[in-house]
Structure 1
Amino acid sequence: MDILEEIVAHKRMEVELAKAAVAPQVLYKQVEAILDFSVASMKQALTASHSGIIAEFKRKSPSKGWIKEDGQPDIIPLSYQQNGAAALSILTDMKYFGGCDDFIRTARHSGVNIPILYKNFVIDEYQLFQARLCGASAVLLIAADLSVAECRSLLNTAHQLGLEVLLEMHSKEELEYADLKPDMCGINNRNLGSFITDIDNSFRMAELLPEEAVKVSESGISNPDTVKALREAGFRGFLIGENFMKTANPGVALHEFIEQL
């Protein structure tokens, strides 16, 4: 079993435990009560931004272990916003990434009002309601762990809840998922099975995606020159986490990165 298979298998158990704790019909009613409140559009934010940086609050990874175990969700996300992030990504997986839904709630309560991506392994519509309830603007759907039919169903439900979708692909074999017309097409430079990172993957995949797609490059970006080259290749979003989180002050690191752009 590769890492992705292990994560998804655990996620299925996790979702069932969550449903046992809060029944789906209870969660759905909680979300219904807030559907009048719209959330900021990540697609629009990236399209309008000069940097396009989606700064990620990521305390841990399966391959590196803890990156910043003491990272505070009421400090770092707000600092990202204050230092020019176009949008945020917040990890909500606990076991493998040291995150939780409350991190998004805490970030919102601290004053974050820019778009937030609910970064998790979404395999069940229940998780979409969890994402909407905690204050996310968009959700990540990963082609590698969903069939096209499952992805289409989740995408439609997300839209009904007022959430945008960043649909992540890694290989040419997954390009058919782009036909679902997600709000944003993500290209992951990291193979989720082996966790090997190759930034050239974004350049290879860019020309194969629909021209009108809002393209987001994910993982392994650590150099402003790489962002400049990716932008020339048609990308509008650049998801960067570890490069900032491993520093003493992630917000300042983001500011310095944008200055170089």
Structure 2
Amino acid sequence: MKKDILHDIIAQKQIELTQQKASVPESALEEMLDGRPADGRSMKKALAESRVGIIAEFKRKSPSKGWINRDANPLEVAEGYVRSKASALSVLTDEPFFGGTLKDLANIRKAVEVPVLRKDFIISRYQLLQAKLTGADAVLLIAAALSPKDCFLLAQEAHNLNLEVLLELHSEEELGHYNEYVDMVGINNRNLGTFHTDVENSFRMAGKLPKDAVRVSESGISSPETIHRLREAGYQGFLIGETFMKTPDPGKALSDFIKRLDL
């Protein structure tokens, strides 16, 4: 029987949330938000209007590969991504499995003007409040980690906080998680149970997605040729992390990648 990594991640996330809420109650987060500007940058608009469409990700490690770039400086990487014309940034904020923190997101937000996505395993309104407080413009909701009802409620609450929603799907069975509060639909080419990656999953799912959805292909994209094919299939966003983060200079790796796109 294959190990279900997603199950382990969610179990750990529930433990973390219990500890965080005991330390800083949800009501305290709400008080911190009171009076703050509500508006954020639109990741949906950035992707729809971009010729590149790359969401460049800051990611130190993964459950399947271990450390990818343990000592990466979030500010240096983010600024390099922006100089290289990333349309948006994704910041992993899960620490045990991906080596990220909310501090990474907060620091990156202060340094860049492009939209920033909080990428985590969000199962609670508490995490949406954290995302808003640290400056995220959008949040990832993962269908495999949520019931359709919980997905709807979290997406609705994200909009109440002026956060855009990227809904991540992997299979046709998860299409029922799509709802009116979803701004972008991501197809994860990585199975979160086994972490096996197959970019063809985006092509299999393309024709099953709502026709007016801003579509994002996630994981396993390592060549410009794949992006050209994905664009032909209707995708406007391309979330890429490991391809850049495994190099000594992720920003330069992105720049070289975009030059090869020959737009």
Q: TM class by shorter-chain length?
A: over 0.9
- Matched with 1:235 is 235
- Matched with 2:134 is 134
> Does structure 2 conserve the Cα–Cα contact (< 8 Å) formed by 1:178 and 1:209?
no
Q: Deviations over 1:72-116 (max 9, x none)?
A: 11110111011110000000000000000010111123x211001
- Matched with 1:252 is 252
> Does structure 1 conserve the Cα–Cα contact (< 8 Å) formed by 2:109 and 2:136?
no
- Matched with 2:99 is 98
Q: How many angstroms apart in 1 are the aligned matches of 2:17 and 2:115? A: 25
Q: How many angstroms apart in 2 are the aligned matches of 1:188 and 1:17? A: 30
Q: How many angstroms apart in 1 are the aligned matches of 2:68 and 2:136? A: 23
Superposition pairs of residues 1-261 of structure 1, within 5 angstroms: 2-34=4-36, 36-109=37-110, 111-261=111-261
* SS across alignment from 1:117: strand
Q: How many angstroms apart in 1 are the aligned matches of 2:114 and 2:178? A: 25
Q: Deviations over 1:191-227 (max 9, x none)?
A: 0000000100000101000110000000000000000
> Does structure 1 conserve the Cα–Cα contact (< 8 Å) formed by 2:152 and 2:179?
no
Which structure 1 residue ranges, 5 or more long, are not aligned? none
- The alignment's C-alpha RMSD in Å is 0.9
Q: How many angstroms apart in 1 are the aligned matches of 2:198 and 2:179? A: 24
Amino acid at match of 2:65: K
Amino acid at match of 2:75: D
Question: How far off is 1:121 after superposition?
Answer: 0.2
Which structure 2 residue ranges, 5 or more long, are not aligned? none
Q: How many angstroms apart in 1 are the aligned matches of 2:92 and 2:26? A: 22
Q: Deviations over 1:30-65 (max 9, x none)?
A: 12231x241110000000110100000000000000
Amino acid at match of 1:18: Q
Q: Percent identity?
A: 54
Question: How far off is 1:181 after superposition?
Answer: 4.9
> Does structure 2 conserve the Cα–Cα contact (< 8 Å) formed by 1:94 and 1:100?
yes
Question: How far off is 1:179 after superposition?
Answer: 3.9
Over 4 Å off, 4+ runs: none
Amino acid at match of 1:48: E
Amino acid at match of 1:60: K
* SS across alignment from 2:238: strand
Aligned residues, how many? 259
Q: How many angstroms apart in 1 are the aligned matches of 2:251 and 2:84? A: 6
* SS across alignment from 1:84: coil
Q: How many angstroms apart in 1 are the aligned matches of 2:203 and 2:131? A: 31
Question: How far off is 1:180 after superposition?
Answer: 4.0
Return 153-162 or 99-108, whichever deviates more.
99-108
Question: How far off is 1:129 after superposition?
Answer: 0.2
Q: Deviations over 1:110-166 (max 9, x none)?
A: x21100100000000000000000010000000001000000000000000000000
* SS across alignment from 2:105: helix
* SS across alignment from 1:153: helix
* SS across alignment from 1:74: helix
* SS across alignment from 1:235: coil
Q: How many angstroms apart in 1 are the aligned matches of 2:99 and 2:179? A: 33
Q: How many angstroms apart in 1 are the aligned matches of 2:160 and 2:34? A: 11
